[in-house]
Amino acid sequence: MGLLRDRMMHDLELAGYVPKTRLIYLNSIRDYAKRFGRSPADLGADEVRVWVDDLTKESEIGPQRVRQHMAALKFLYTKTLWKPEAVSFLSWPSDPQRLPTVLAADEVERILAAFERPKYRVFFTTVYGTGLRVLEACQLETRDIDAARGVIHVRCGKGQKERFVMLSPRLLVILRKYWSIERPSPPWVFESNTGGHLQPNTARLALRLACGKAGVARKVTPHVLRHSFATHLLEAGTELRVIQVLLGHNSIKTTTRYARVSTALIAKTKSPLDRLKTD
């Protein structure tokens, strides 16, 4: 298994997978091998079917985790072992269609005001003000802040795709004031306490504490602020195509879910009943 693990790691690196994904895939294959007590090189389609059946019956594993296991199997057998027939039958499970959680503007204000440390307040102000993913915000560098053009350059976007997001005048003032006080070590805008850039889990913990202090009972994650950014833009009249570019979505279909969750737009929509002349 050690030699196979090294080969798969090498193949994942060549394919450009980020370290986190490489670790997830390798751990999945480790669990797969442990299930049968043999090297995956000696296993085939029958064992893959049994393993996937085990995963789908496991109540604590959601569709996303099952997809990760399947993706790891597919990579192993198609790229490393050259046995694509062992996984050719796999079909990805889909997530149930849930509407994203969106905060009201006053809830965002209360949460931002509840942070005790300026670093975290400015960090999540940036997340809400730009729609950045938490890792994208953690890895912001000073060179990414383009005050002259009024944009922020996102270099480490999902799938290694770069894009630009808006840099509002208000956020620019906030960032400059934060910089003059905190003086984080270059090149990072948001530095961790131990050096390097701020870590996502540290930011998530700070957000959870702030939500408790602000009296916001529902679960709020950094991605909820991203959802709120998109929905509030839509309610303000921003076109979906623009929001798609700002969020870095590949497909407009991903962005259209915000049209379904925008209660302000729903409330403004005229019912055909209003056109009737009789009561």
The residues annotated as belonging to the active site are: 133, 158, 223, 226, 249, 258
Q: Are 227 and 98 in contact (CB under 8 A)?
A: no
3-state secondary structure of 188: strand
Task: Say which DSSP state 145 is in.
Answer: E
Distance CA 231, CA 256 (A): 10
| Contacts of 106 by beta carbon, 8 Å cutoff, 6+ apart | none
User: β-pairing, 151-154 with 145-146?
Assistant: antiparallel
**β-sheet bridge partners, residue 166:** 151
Q: Are 165 and 246 in contact (CB under 8 A)?
A: yes
| Contacts of 210 by beta carbon, 8 Å cutoff, 6+ apart | 111, 112, 114, 115, 120, 124
First-to-last CA distance in the chain?
A: 76
User: β-pairing, 145-146 with 163-166?
Assistant: unpaired
The count of other CB atoms within 10 Å of the CB of residue 258 is 25
| Contacts of 194 by beta carbon, 8 Å cutoff, 6+ apart | none
For residues 146-156, one letter each, b for 16 or more C-beta atoms within 10 angstroms of the residue's C-beta and e for the rest, the string is eeeeebbbbeb
